[in-house]
Structure 1
Amino acid sequence: MLNHVPLLLIAALGGIMVSLQAQLMGIMDRQMGTLESVFITYGLGGLIIGAAMLFYRGGNLAACASVPWYSMLSGLMGLIIVGSIGYTAPRLGLVPAMTILVLAQFAAAALIDHFGMLGADIRPLTLIRGSGIVVMLVGLWMTLR
């Protein structure tokens, strides 16, 4: 467990950033619109990661040819993620929007793991894991009330 501490902290940092991003995108969404807030988010993020990629690696994009074509859909999926967060957070509230987002992530991840979809290692959906998702459903219901 001790060797997982850095990974747990990085994952927690990512979770905190999702909530902060949702709130900030909600502000932009209300002031400018969903498409504009997604453009600002992705555009600025793209510039920053592009500069970092060039600085640290020199821009090794030739490796794109070695990944499956459907992996490139992650960019489109990222737009959907960011857009849905920016759109729903100011309308539902941060807690309900994030609860639905996380619950949907857990359910999809459980199916991907269980069936080994898209090259994932098979990790069966056990009664305990399924119970955790049911508990989250109850939490969602409580959050939305």
Structure 2
Amino acid sequence: MLDLALVVVLGLSGGLAVGVQSPMAGAMGSRIGGAAGSFILHLSGTIASLVLLIARGGENIHAWRSLPWYMLCSGVFGLVLILTLSQTVPKLGAASAITLVVVGQLVGGLLIDHFGFFDVTVRPVDLQRIAAVTLLLAGAYLMVR
């Protein structure tokens, strides 16, 4: 039970990080442009990742060549996210923009789980999960309108 609680806290921490990063990225994108904001955001993330990687002894970085090509291109999704936030946060506000991002993540996660993409454990779509997505979409509608 403690393991599950720790995982939940970690997940919430990641959500909080996205919640803080989103309005910052949106504001930065409206001031200097989406691509420029994305560059600065990813550069600071690269530096922070390098420091963490060094602190952790390099982990298994030498095996990067064994990764599938699509994993090496996954940073493109970060660019899409930041460019999206640079447009949605100034027009809709942080809460609405984050709501849309979260709903998009959950719908994407649902499909990934259902089909088992990227070697995740298959969790088929069922009525309970469809109800959850429906409630999230209703919440997103109420948040954005």
**TM-score (norm: length of structure 2):** 0.90
Distance 2:55 2:16 in 1: 27
Q: Which amino acid aligns with 2:84?
A: S
What is the root-mean-square deviation of aligned Cα atoms in Å?
1.6
- Name the residue aligned to 1:92: 92
Distance 1:60 1:114 in 2: 29
Report if aligned partners of 2:26, 2:82 keep a CA contact under 8 Å in 1.
Answer: no
Q: Which amino acid aligns with 2:96?
A: P
* Count of residue pairs brought into register by the alignment: 145
- How far apart are residue 59 of structure 1 and its match? 7.1
Distance 1:103 1:59 in 2: 33
Cα distance per residue 1:67-111 (max 9 Å; x no partner): 222111211112222332233212221121111111111111111
Q: Secondary structure at the match of 2:73?
A: helix
Q: Which amino acid aligns with 2:85?
A: I
Distance 1:56 1:86 in 2: 33
Q: Which amino acid aligns with 2:11?
A: A
- Name the residue aligned to 2:129: 129
Distance 1:92 1:140 in 2: 12
Cα distance per residue 1:19-51 (max 9 Å; x no partner): 111111122122211112111111111112112
**Identity between Structure 1 and Structure 2 (%):** 30
The range that moved more, 24-33 or 96-105, is: 24-33
Distance 1:110 1:53 in 2: 31
Distance 2:59 2:3 in 1: 31
- Name the residue aligned to 1:48: 48
Q: Which amino acid aligns with 1:48?
A: A
Unaligned runs of 5+ in 1: none
- Name the residue aligned to 1:21: 21
- Name the residue aligned to 2:105: 105
Higher relative contact order (CA 8 A, sep 6+): 2
Q: Which amino acid aligns with 2:71?
A: S
The range that moved more, 104-113 or 50-59, is: 50-59
- Name the residue aligned to 2:36: 36
The range that moved more, 80-89 or 19-28, is: 80-89
Report if aligned partners of 1:38, 1:86 keep a CA contact under 8 Å in 2.
Answer: no
2:11 paired with 1:11: yes
Distance 1:85 1:132 in 2: 24
Distance 1:59 1:120 in 2: 22
